[in-house]
């Protein structure tokens, strides 16, 4: 198998990864864990009066709301294409994932900061029965750890099928569900450690600053996670080009077609998770008849969808490579060097 074929196989098999069922299971596990943990933390916060435990309660309730958002995203993105959405509803998933990031900041980070500042400014703040905190935090650590393990396994599997490291996949993935669970649950485990540390400092010193600082630290952690997820979903909503590896493989694949003299222009659009639209302008061999061109267009489009499983829509247009209007449009997007590279690479 050639290096090009290996690249095509890795990138093209993306639509078989994870799947809606696996993502749904991951989100459901996280939802159940977060709801149970939120209730337990809330009871502990009332009993002990701990600001950090109140912050963690808000954290878990925010995560629970987020899982509902993600389930809505999974369901909504599976709706079939219709007249108002001819390319389907795949990008709906990114909208709800963005709301999940906003929820983390508003419900979790801001409330945690409020609890921390209140604890620091209050002279009467006291944590009673700290053992209750430790028990709840320990159980929560087990539940959150199980949820994280589920999300981590799915994400690692998807990363391997895309031919990427886990870090690369988390940075570039077009599936926000499992990656959101991984970031949320990782933050949850860190938050539990911070809450336990704050309780321990308060218990050891008898001063409220330990509990208050822990709550503020949790707020900073949640704000950082919200920012990270928000930026990721902004990219998915606005940076619409497909994975560059897929784009290059499609470019080379088109250039290898016998009827194609050169690829004049290539556009890709991410329609949703593992759903890509490809638009290409091709300079075809001059000796092709009109019927030859028609058959070639149909065969090339079918070949793209068969080779690259992420490609769900293909639009091809025959144009002469010397057409200055088309060439200027390509140069305006890619620059002279890359525009010429497309012709040379795909036409060689």
User: What is the tens place of the pLDDT at every residue in 97-152?
Assistant: 888 888 888 888 899 999 889 888 876 677 788 899 899 999 999 988 888 888 88
Q: Would you say 319 and 281 are in contact if contact means Cβ atoms under 8 Å apart?
A: yes
Lookup result for tokens 């900061």: 113
Q: What is the pLDDT of residues 255-308, one digit of tens each?
A: 999 999 988 889 999 888 889 999 999 999 999 999 999 999 999 999 999 999
Angle at 192 between CA 20 and CA 63, to 5 degrees: 35
Confidence (pLDDT) at 173: 82
* Contact (CB, 8 A) for 178 and 66: no
Tens of pLDDT, residue by residue over 37-54, are: 899 999 999 998 888 889
- The mean pLDDT value of the chain amounts to 84
> For 214-225, what is each residue's pLDDT tens digit?
999 999 999 999
Integer Cα distance of 99 and 38 in angstroms: 20
State how far the Cα of 23 lies from the Cα of 72, in Å rounded to an integer.
Answer: 12
How many whole angstroms separate alpha carbon 222 and alpha carbon 107?
10
Q: CA 12: distance to chain centroid?
A: 18
Contact 100, 180 (CB under 8 A): yes
Provide the edge-to-edge strand list for the sheet that holds 275-284: 260-272, 275-284, 311-318
Describe the crossing of helices 130-161 and 51-77 by its angle, rounded to 10 degrees: 30
């Amino acid at each position: 198998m050639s290096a090009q074929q290996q690249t095509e196989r890795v990138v093209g098999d993306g639509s078989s990864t994870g799947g809606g069922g696996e993502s749904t299971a991951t989100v459901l596990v996280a939802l159940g864990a977060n709801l149970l943990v939120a209730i337990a933390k809330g009871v502990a916060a009332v009993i002990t009066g701990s600001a950090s435990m109140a912050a963690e309660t808000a954290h878990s309730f925010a995560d629970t709301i987020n899982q509902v958002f993600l389930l809505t995203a999974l369901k909504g993105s599976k709706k079939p294409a219709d007249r108002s959405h001819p390319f389907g509803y795949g990008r709906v998933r990114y909208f709800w994932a963005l709301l999940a990031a906003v929820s983390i900041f508003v419900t979790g980070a801001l409330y945690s900061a409020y609890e921390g500042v209140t604890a620091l400014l209050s002279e009467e703040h006291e944590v009673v029965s700290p053992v209750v905190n430790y028990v709840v935090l320990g159980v929560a650590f087990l539940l959150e750890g199980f949820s994280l393990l589920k999300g981590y396994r799915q994400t690692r599997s998807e990363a391997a099928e895309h031919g990427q490291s886990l870090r690369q996949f988390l940075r570039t993935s077009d599936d926000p569900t499992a990656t959101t669970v991984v970031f949320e649950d990782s933050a949850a485990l860190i938050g539990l450690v911070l809450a336990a540390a704050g309780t321990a400092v308060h218990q050891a010193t008898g001063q409220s600053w330990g509990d208050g600082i822990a709550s503020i630290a949790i707020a900073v952690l949640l704000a950082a996670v919200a920012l990270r997820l928000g930026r990721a979903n902004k990219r998915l909503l606005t940076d619409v080009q497909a994975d560059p590896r897929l784009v290059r493989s499609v470019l080379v694949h088109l250039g290898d077609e016998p009827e194609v003299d050169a690829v004049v222009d290539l556009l890709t659009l991410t329609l949703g998770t593992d759903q890509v639209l490809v638009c290409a302008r091709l300079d075809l061999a001059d000796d092709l008849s009109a019927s030859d061109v028609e058959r070639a267009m149909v065969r090339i489009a079918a070949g793209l969808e068969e080779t690259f499983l992420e490609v769900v829509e293909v639009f091809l247009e025959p144009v002469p490579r010397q057409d200055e209007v088309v060439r200027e449009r390509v140069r305006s997007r890619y620059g002279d060097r890359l525009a010429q590279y497309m012709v040379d690479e795909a036409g060689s």
